[in-house]
Amino acid sequence: MNLATVREDLADLLASLSANVYFFPPEVVLAPAVVIVPDSPYIQPIAIGRSKYRARFRLTFAVAMTNNQAALNTLEELIFDTYAALPVGYTVFDTTDVRPTNLGQSDLLTAEMVVEVITEIGN
């Protein structure tokens, strides 16, 4: 298994969300969306010489900001649906505050969540 597969597996877990889920930074984000990218520290060995690692990812949630109240409700639902979709074995760290973001010609409401999983990488 490699890290791209770990990100893709995480995206598969989130496939039931009412959002586009990307396991890489897309050229164009179609909201509502969840974008999965590496976080810091990205990879930590559990023990030197072993194939088990902690992998940490940042999930960026984005919804269209056409109506502020509806956008905030949609963003919060997406965050709580993500909590519900993650199985035992994932650790959720911070979920950031909500921020308006301009991406290209789109006004988005965004928040971020950090998750970590222990995985085997390599042979």
Q: What is the mean pLDDT of residues 6-32?
A: 94
Strand, helix or coil for residue 53 = strand
pLDDT at 123 over 70: no
Q: Please give the domain boundaries of the chain with CATH numbers for all domains.
A: 3-120 (3.30.70.1700)
- Are 35 and 25 in contact by the 8 Å Cβ rule? The answer is yes
Strand, helix or coil for residue 6 = helix
- Are 111 and 96 in contact by the 8 Å Cβ rule? The answer is yes
How many Cβ atoms are within 10 Å of 54's Cβ, its own excluded? 15
Q: What is the mean pLDDT of residues 105-110?
A: 89
Specify the pLDDT at position 67.
Answer: 86
- Over residues 39-96, the pLDDT tens digits come to 999 999 987 777 889 999 999 999 999 888 999 999 999 999 999 999 999 999 989 9
Residue 121 Cα distances to 3, 19, 72, 105, angstroms: 7, 28, 37, 39
Cis peptide bond N-terminal to 41, omega within 30: yes
How many Cβ atoms are within 10 Å of 7's Cβ, its own excluded? 18
Instruction: Provide, rounded to the nearest whole percent, the portion of the chain with pLDDT above 70.
Output: 99
